[in-house]
């Protein structure tokens, strides 16, 4: 379904799934998925039939599918009544009001839109609707602000695309290019403008309107953005660098770290695999394979890969991986002391400030867990000295544990001042 939801093969497999389903929940899921696939194929009559079958099997959410198919078949009021009954019969949640807003107009629609956000601030449609409404009233700055709120909760291609188009309308081509590059990092084959333009083509159209950077400029820009907790800006810079040097495994790895920070696991894993595929040495490949194992829940395999990499060549990334994986498998005093030693070994190896700042931040966290607050404070201060802005949060925690609440407040204020739009993700 992820690769090609509309494919005949997908339909065939789901039909077999319905035949093999034994438990009630299995049947509900299979029927609902068939309805969703038929809906995507625009076979609305069949989609409605499958959704109704799922409802009869006890799958309440499939009523939404029934409503949408009825709406597509021209029965708007019927769709409205279905969702209205859901809101009446069950405790209302955000998505219910979002769905009902699709089938009403005027003040009632806006009321549902606002209630959807109040009940679930992470839903994307209400923000997009309000942003477009503001655009229609020529309130472009407010539209940007509205869609940026949703991106603060969760980065998604559709919201980045909308913000990019609004930035283009404002002739802010630098921000538009940032969002398009970040979008393409999430979905490299994304087609924009209602399926009429590939994202890469829009990048080429925007590039002449922004300042051109060489690779050295890009590294400086990456350092500045990473340091200021501008994850989307960092993604855009890395995308630019990879366009010029697609075989650079280090860049693919950095991209995966940023994507994980933004909670985009699928895209992060794709970047991590590309880092492994482009690695130029055995010890480097082992590190990336170790991270793949770690991110898929195989900590013991990750530890083994790290140790094998260290046996070939001592490197920052190998020690850092081993420390990370070990910290996840055991929290006793002895293993934590070993984690501290591994992080100190990592810091003795060559690396750049971006990664060393992360290691110092992690080391500070371990010291805090074992109430070595002065050592933790030193780590956070050293991290801040190389512009690892997130260390303000760790230092604030140290001050709080020392009952220095004013100092803790001041540290968090510094963090908010340096990264006001990114503090949600910390």
Q: What does the pLDDT read at residue 424?
A: 42
Q: What is the pLDDT of residue 345?
A: 97
pLDDT at position 420 is 56
Domain boundary assignment for the chain: 123-206
Question: How far apart, in Å, do the first and last CA atoms of the chain sit?
Answer: 33
Please give the pLDDT value at position 331. 67
Under CATH, which architecture does the 123-206 domain have? Alpha Horseshoe (1.25)
Low-confidence ranges of the chain (pLDDT < 70): 331, 420-426
Residue 426: predicted pLDDT:
38
């Amino acid at each position: 379904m992820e690769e090609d939801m509309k494919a005949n093969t997908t339909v065939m497999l789901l039909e077999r799934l319905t035949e093999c389903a034994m438990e009630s929940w299995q049947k509900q899921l299979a029927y609902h998925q068939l309805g969703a696939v038929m809906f995507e194929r625009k076979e609305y009559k069949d989609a409605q039939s499958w959704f109704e079958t799922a409802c009869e099997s006890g799958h309440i959410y499939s009523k939404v599918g029934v409503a949408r198919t009825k709406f597509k078949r021209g029965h708007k009021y019927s769709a409205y009544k279905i969702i209205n009954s859901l809101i009446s019969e069950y405790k209302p949640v955000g998505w219910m009001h979002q769905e009902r807003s699709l089938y009403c107009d005027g003040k009632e629609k806006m009321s549902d839109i606002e209630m959807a956000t109040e009940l679930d601030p992470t839903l994307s449609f209400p923000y997009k609707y309000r942003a477009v409404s503001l655009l229609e009233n020529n309130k472009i700055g407010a539209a940007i602000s509205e869609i940026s709120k949703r991106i603060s909760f969760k980065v998604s291609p559709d919201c980045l695309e909308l913000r990019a188009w609004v930035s283009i309308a404002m002739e802010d081509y630098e921000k538009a290019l940032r969002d398009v590059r970040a979008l393409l990092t999430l979905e490299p084959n994304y087609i924009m403008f209602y399926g009429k333009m590939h994202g890469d083509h829009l990048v080429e159209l925007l590039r002449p309107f922004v300042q051109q950077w060489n690779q050295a400029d890009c590294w400086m820009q990456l350092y500045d953005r990473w340091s200021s907790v501008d994850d989307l800006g960092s993604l855009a810079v890395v995308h630019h660098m990879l366009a010029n040097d697609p075989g650079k495994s280090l860049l693919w790895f950095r991209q995966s770290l940023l994507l994980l920070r933004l909670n985009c696991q699928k895209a992060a894993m794709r970047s991590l695999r590309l880092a492994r595929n482009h690695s130029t040495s055995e010890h480097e490949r082992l590190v990336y394979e170790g991270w793949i194992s770690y991110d898929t829940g195989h900590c013991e395999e990750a530890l083994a890969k790290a140790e094998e990499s260290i046996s070939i060549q001592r490197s920052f990334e190998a020690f850092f991986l081993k420390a990370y994986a070990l910290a996840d498998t055991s929290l006793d005093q002895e293993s934590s002391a070993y984690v501290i030693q591994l992080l100190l070994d990592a810091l003795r190896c060559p690396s750049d400030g971006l990664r060393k700042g992360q290691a110092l931040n992690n080391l500070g966290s371990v010291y805090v867990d074992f109430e070595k607050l002065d050592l933790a404070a030193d780590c956070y201060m050293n991290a801040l000295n190389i512009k690892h802005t997130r260390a303000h949060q760790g230092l604030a925690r140290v001050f709080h544990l020392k009952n220095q609440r004013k100092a803790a407040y001041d540290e968090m204020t510094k963090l908010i001042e340096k990264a006001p739009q990114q503090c949600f993700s910390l």
